[in-house]
Amino acid sequence: MTTVARENGTVLDLKFDANGLITAVAVDADNGEVLMVAFMNREALERTLQTRKATYWSRSRSKFWVKGEESGHVQEVQDILIDCDQDCVLLKVRQKGVACHTGRRSCFYRSVLAMSGPESLKIIAEPLVDTKAVYASKK
Amino acid sequence: MTTVARENGTVLDLKFDANGLITAVAVDADNGEVLMVAFMNREALERTLQTRKATYWSRSRSKFWVKGEESGHVQEVQDILIDCDQDCVLLKVRQKGVACHTGRRSCFYRSVLAMSGPESLKIIAEPLVDTKAVYASKK
């Protein structure tokens, strides 16, 4: 497919990186807040489309990762958008509980103030749930 | 730095991929709309922090890319957030003009309906500006 067709057309033609992955950004379907960024391979996107439950590819564990399958903090997918060059998808989700494994609603809970130093980041959101307890209760 | 310190601390400790890059998501500072997703190396983030103009690393051109330097569609950076494992930043920007080179406000102008087929994507936003004219006028 040509670049023009990929960018202007109506045919899905994913542009994977060297590892067969695309970037996936999950945002709250109601207020647009960015919740997390992860990765998908083709099958993860297909499973997400079919089940409407956000399913990523875990690079660290080399396996499919149905978001919330352990914690219960699932993401019900309302819509999936794709960007111009088809190497990134945007998931509009209904987030049950919290998106971040630290217990925050969003993984983006720190503001960057400087490139180095003991206070180069400023914490702007605190955990809403005790995720240690959440994961322990599932074991 | 330990994983715990990286995730809970206040010290910037970027986790780069094999190419020395992190993902950067730009959102409209006013309404939260996701505008685009690109990449940064350490120096791109440093330049962005210093100049408050979103500066990415172009993988296709292997050079720094001050967003809007040709088109005039610059991104004034209001805030930079970093995610839990420090491999992704979220830029809250004031977008001048449009973010997408196709002339749309956002790069996410198509909804994914299916994994294949001639109508697997549905176009949900049309170009606001004629980007051919924008780039031509700068030459």
Q: Report pLDDT for B133.
A: 76
Q: Report pLDDT for B132.
A: 79
Q: Report pLDDT for B137.
A: 63
Q: Do B82 and A122 touch (CB under 8 A)?
A: no
- Residue B63 CB: number of other CB atoms within 10 A? 9
What's the rounded mean pLDDT across residues B26-52? 98
What's the CATH class of domain A3-100? alpha beta
Angstrom distance (rounded) from CA B54 to CA B92: 10
| B-chain residues near A81 (CB < 8 A) | 108-112, 124
As a whole-number percent, the residues of chain B with pLDDT over 70 amount to: 97
Average pLDDT, chain A: 95
Encoded tokens for B14: 């970027």
The DSSP-derived string for A10-74 is SS------TTS-EEEEEEETTT--EEEEEEE-HHHHHHHHHH-B-EEEETTTTEEEETTTTTS--
Confidence of residue B138 (pLDDT cuts 50, 70, 90): low
Which of A79, A111, A117 is nearest residue B111 as measured by Cβ atoms? A79
Encoded tokens for A57: 């590819």
Give which of B46, B105, B95, B106 is closest to B72, Cα–Cα.
B95
| B-chain residues near A102 (CB < 8 A) | 7-8, 84
Q: Is pLDDT at A139 greater than 70 in this prediction?
A: no
Q: Is pLDDT at A1 greater than 90 in this prediction?
A: no
- B33/chain A closest Cα distance in angstroms: 6
Encoded tokens for A30: 């109601």
Q: Report pLDDT for B131.
A: 81
Q: Is residue B34 exposed (0-12), middle (13-18) or buried (19+ Cβ within 10 Å)?
A: buried
Q: Is pLDDT at B45 greater than 80 in this prediction?
A: yes
| A-chain residues near B84 (CB < 8 A) | 100-102, 104, 107, 109
- B81/chain A closest Cα distance in angstroms: 4
- B29/chain A closest Cα distance in angstroms: 11
- A66/chain B closest Cα distance in angstroms: 19
Fold that domain B3-101 belongs to in CATH: Ubiquitin-like (UB roll) (3.10.20)
Does residue A115 contact residue A85 with C-beta atoms inside 8 Å?
no
The residue of chain A nearest to residue B122, with distances taken between CA atoms, is A10
Which of A12, A34, A118 is nearest residue B116 as measured by Cβ atoms? A12
Question: pLDDT, tens digit, for every residue of A15-63?
Answer: 999 999 999 999 999 999 999 999 999 999 999 999 999 999 999 999 9
DSSP SS3 for B9:
coil
Q: Is residue A90 exposed (0-12), middle (13-18) or buried (19+ Cβ within 10 Å)?
A: buried
User: What sign for the dihedral angle of Cα B62, B66, B68, B69?
Assistant: negative
What's the rounded mean pLDDT across residues B37-66? 97
Question: pLDDT, tens digit, for every residue of B77-87?
Answer: 999 999 999 99
The residue of chain B nearest to residue A117, with distances taken between CA atoms, is B11
Residue that wins the pLDDT comparison between B3 and B42:
B42
Q: Do B82 and A110 touch (CB under 8 A)?
A: yes
